[in-house]
Amino acid sequence: MARHEGRGMASVNYPIGMNLGGDPSQALIHSNPEGKFTVALSAIDLGQGMKQVSRQIAAETLGVPVEDVFVDTADSDTGPHDMGSFASRGTHRMGNAIIVAAREARGVLLEAAAEELEVNAADLVTDGRGNIHVRGAPSKTITVKATAQAAQFKQGKTIAGRGIFLIPLSAVDAETGEMNPNTAFAHACLVADVSVDDETGEVEVLRMTSAYELGRVINPRMVEQQLVGGAWMGISHALYETPEPYYPSIEHGPRDFNEYLMPGPGEIAPYHVTVLERPAPDGPFGGKGPGEMCANPVLPAVANAVYNAVGVRVDELPITPEKILRAIRANGGVKPGPRRGGPVNWR
Amino acid sequence: MAKTPVQFRLNGSDRAAFVDAPETLLNTLRRGLGEFAPKYGCGQGTCGVCTVLVDGEPVLSCLTLSVACEGRHVETASGLADGPELHPLQAAFMDHFAAQCGFCTPGMLTAARALLAKNLSPTRDEVIEAISGNICRCTGYEPIVTAILAAANAPGARRA
C-alpha cells in the first residue's frame, strides 16, 4: 500500500446571470415617515448575504446610514418581479435594479429637503449619517427624518423609487448560431493537492489554494465565507455526493444522511483564498458575484490532482474509491505523473 | 387516543402539554409550545438540527419521546441569550461568520454548549467530535469550528 500525492489545477471564466428570454430584476424602495427606507425585492437571501449586500448598495446610493435601510424579500406574490436567486445573479442584477430605484428615491428626498430649506435641490448633498445640507454650507441642514416627515405630513410626497435592470434576450444569429447570453464574467483559478491511497482508493484533499476575481467586493467577509463554504461543497461533489452511484441504475442509492455521503467537520481541507478586485463596468459599484463558482473549479482541480497522483482519469462524478481502484487496475497499476510546482509555502 | 399530560422545564420555565404517547419532543416543542429554535430536518436522527439538551445532555429531539422528558430540564438555543445579552457562543458565531442560511445553527449552538459545559478548553479535534452529528450545507464547517474554539476562550463561556 502506498499513498501518492498529486496536484491539479483548474480555472473558470464564469458568466453572471442568464439569458433565457431576458434576465430582469426589479426593486422598489420607499421611506417611512421616520426616514428609514425599505427595499422590496422578490429574490431571496438563502444565506449567501444578498440582503446585506442589497442594504449596502441602497444605503450608499441613497446617501443614508446602512442601519436605516431594511430589505424585505418576504413575498414574491406581492413584491416586484424578479427572476430569482440563482445563476449567481443576485449582486449584479438586483444590485443594479436597487441603484436605479435608490437614485429615484434620493431625487424625491432631496426635492423634499430643498422645499423645506428653500434652496435648489441640485445644491444639496447627503453626509451618509442621516443629514442633508447645502453643498459648502453645512449649517444649512435638515435631517433625513425631518425631511421624510415633511414629505409625508406637509408636502404630500412619497419618497420612493422604482428600479429595473434588464439584460434583454440576445438574438441568435441564424447562420452562425452566435449569441451573447452573458454580461459580466468572474474568473478564478484553483489548485488542489490530494493524496490517493492505492489500496483503498480513498482520496484526501490535503489543501487548496485559489485566486478569485469578482469585481468589487461589496462585503469582504461575506465573500470569504461564501468562497470557503462553496469550496467545501465542491469537494463534496467531487468525491462524495451522489443520489445514484450507479446511474442510471438506482441500485445502492442513499436513503438517508447516513448513506448520502458528504465530508464532515473532520475532513476540512486547509484552504487559502486570494480575492482580486477589478471593478466591472456594468456591475453595481463594480460588483459581479461569487455564487456557484465558489464550488465549480474544485471539481476539475481534484480530478486533475487524482490523475497527477495515480495516472487515472475518472470522468464521472463523484470520484469514488471504487472508480479509482477499477481505473488503476484497468491502467495496469499506479502511474504517477510528474510532481508539479514548488513546495507549498503559503502557511 | 387519550392524551398524556407531561410537565418539564423549558429554558428555565415550567411548561406543560398534553401529548400523544408516541409524540416526539420536537413535535411538542414546535407545535405544542411554540418553541421554534430546534428545527425539523431529516426526522431520522441523522442531521442534528433538532438537537436540544435534556438535563444537560445533547439529544435528538426528533427521536426523543415527550413523555420521557417528564420532570426533566429541556434547553434549546433560545435559552442561550440572557435577555438582550448574547451567550459567548452566539457572539462568536456572529464574529466568525459561522452561519449562512442558519438552519443548522440552533443545533450547532446546542451541541457546542454541551461540549463547553463539560470541557472549557477543548482541542480542535474535540470540537470536531462534538459537532460531528450536525450537518451544515453552507459554511464548510471551518468557521463553526473556529467560532466554538473562540467562544471556549471567551469570558463567561461556561455560563449555563
Query: Which of B100, B101, B131 is facing A265, going by the closest CB pair?
Result: B131
Q: Note whether A47 contacts B42, CB cutoff 8 Å.
A: no
Q: Summarize the confidence of residues A294-313 as an average pLDDT.
A: 97
Q: Is A195's pLDDT higher than 50?
A: yes
Domain containing residue A37: CATH number: 3.30.365.10
Q: How far apart are CA A144 and CA B156, in angstroms?
A: 41
Q: Both A258 and A295 in a single domain?
A: yes
Question: Nearest CA of chain B to the CA of A189: how many Å?
Answer: 19
Query: Which of B101, B139, B145 is facing A46, going by the closest CB pair?
Result: B101
Cβ contact A58:A98 at 8 Å: yes
Q: Note whether B139 contacts A262, CB cutoff 8 Å.
A: no
Q: Note whether B100 contacts A262, CB cutoff 8 Å.
A: no
Residues A163, A166, A167: CA angle, nearest 5 degrees: 155
Q: How far apart are CA A134 and CA A139, in angstroms?
A: 8
Domain residue spans of chain B: 4-78, 88-152
Q: Note whether A257 contacts B46, CB cutoff 8 Å.
A: yes
Query: Which of B99, B137, B142 is facing A228, going by the closest CB pair?
Result: B142
* pLDDT tens digits for range B101-118: 999 999 999 999 999 999
Q: Note whether A228 contacts B145, CB cutoff 8 Å.
A: no
ipTM of this complex: 0.90
Nearest-CA neighbor of B48 among B142, B132, B112, B124?
B132
Give Cα B39 distance to the centre of its chain: 10
CATH 3.40.50.300 matches B4-78: no
Q: Which residues of A touch B128 (CB under 8 A)?
A: 264-266
Q: Which residues of B touch A269 (CB under 8 A)?
A: none
Evaluate the CA torsion angle A45, B111, A240, A185 in order and state its sign: positive
Question: Residue by residue, what is the 3-state secondary structure of B144-158?
Answer: HHHHHHHHHCCCCCC
Query: Which of A46, A258, A265 is facing B141, going by the closest CB pair?
Result: A265
Q: Both A8 and A49 in a single domain?
A: no
Q: In this structure, is residue A174 part of a structural domain?
A: no
Q: Both A278 and A233 in a single domain?
A: yes
Query: Which of A47, A221, A268 is facing B141, going by the closest CB pair?
Result: A268
Q: Summarize the confidence of residues A5-34 as an average pLDDT.
A: 92
Q: Note whether A225 contacts B100, CB cutoff 8 Å.
A: yes
Cβ contact A89:A17 at 8 Å: yes
pLDDT band at A347 (very low <50, low <70, confident <90, very high): very low
Q: What is the per-residue pLDDT for B158?
A: 57
Q: Both A124 and A187 in a single domain?
A: no
Q: In this structure, is residue A90 part of a structural domain?
A: yes
Q: Note whether A257 contacts B140, CB cutoff 8 Å.
A: no
Cβ contact B135:B103 at 8 Å: no
Q: In this structure, is residue A231 part of a structural domain?
A: yes
Question: Residue by residue, what is the 3-state secondary structure of A208-253?
Answer: EEEEEECECCCCHHHHHHHHHHHHHHHHHHHHCCCCCCCCCCCCCC
pLDDT band at A345 (very low <50, low <70, confident <90, very high): very low
Number of CB atoms found within 10 A of residue A322's CB: 11
> Contacts for B118-125 with beta carbons within 8 Å, 24 or more apart?
B120/B152, B120/B157, B120/B158, B121/B152, B121/B153, B122/B148, B122/B149, B122/B152, B124/B149
Q: Both A115 and A201 in a single domain?
A: no
Q: Note whether B131 contacts A48, CB cutoff 8 Å.
A: no
Nearest-CA neighbor of A143 among A58, A65, A67?
A65
Q: Is A296's pLDDT higher than 60?
A: yes
Q: Note whether A257 contacts B131, CB cutoff 8 Å.
A: no
> What's the structural domain count of chain A?
2
Q: In this structure, is residue A344 part of a structural domain?
A: no
Strands A37-40 and A23-31: antiparallel
Q: What is the per-residue pLDDT for B157?
A: 61
Query: B interface toward A at CB cutoff 8 Å?
Result: 42, 44, 46-47, 97, 99-102, 127-128, 131-132, 135, 137-145
Q: What is the per-residue pLDDT for A228?
A: 95
Counting residues of chain B whose pLDDT is more than 90, the rounded percentage is 94
Query: Which of B138, B140, B144 is facing A47, going by the closest CB pair?
Result: B138
CATH code for the domain defined by B88-152: 1.10.150.120
* pLDDT tens digits for range B34-67: 999 999 999 999 999 999 999 999 999 999 999 9
Question: Nearest CA of chain B to the CA of A253: how many Å?
Answer: 17
Question: Residue by residue, what is the 3-state secondary structure of chain A?
Answer: CCEEEEEEEEEEEEECCCCCCCEEEEEEEEECCCCCEEEECCCCCCCCCHHHHHHHHHHHHHCCCHHHEEEECCCCCCCCCECCCCCCCHHHHHHHHHHHHHHHHHHHHHHHHHHHHCCCHHHEEECCCCEEEECCEEEEEEEHHHHHHHHHHHHCCCCEEEEEEEECCCCCCCCCCCCCCCCCEEEEEEEEEEEEECCCCCEEEEEEEEEEECECCCCHHHHHHHHHHHHHHHHHHHHCCCCCCCCCCCCCCCCCCCCCCCCCHHHCCCEEEEEECCCCCCCHHHECCCHHHHCCCHHHHHHHHHHHHHCCCCCCCCCCHHHHHHHHHHCCCCCCCCCCCCCCCCC
Q: Which residues of B touch A48 (CB under 8 A)?
A: 100
Q: Is A114's pLDDT higher than 70?
A: yes
Q: Which residues of A touch B100 (CB under 8 A)?
A: 47-49, 225-226, 229
* pLDDT tens digits for range A25-64: 999 999 999 999 999 999 989 888 999 999 999 999 999 9
Question: Nearest CA of chain A to the CA of B86: how many Å?
Answer: 20
Chains A and B form CB pairs within 8 A to the count of 62
Query: A interface toward B at CB cutoff 8 Å?
Result: 46-49, 221-222, 224-226, 228-233, 256-258, 262, 264-266, 268, 271
Q: What is the per-residue pLDDT for A346?
A: 41
Computed over every residue of chain A, the mean pLDDT equals 93
The whole domain housing A246 covers 3-15+183-330
- Residue, of A339 and A280, whose pLDDT is higher: A280
Q: Note whether B135 contacts A231, CB cutoff 8 Å.
A: no
* pLDDT tens digits for range A145-181: 999 999 999 999 999 999 999 988 888 899 998 887 7
DSSP annotation of B107: H
Q: How far apart are CA A51 and CA A57, in angstroms?
A: 10
Q: How far apart are CA A142 and CA A138, in angstroms?
A: 10
Question: Nearest CA of chain A to the CA of B17: how many Å?
Answer: 31
Q: Both A73 and A145 in a single domain?
A: yes
Question: Nearest CA of chain B to the CA of A221: how many Å?
Answer: 8
Number of CB atoms found within 10 A of residue B132's CB: 14
pTM, full prediction: 0.92
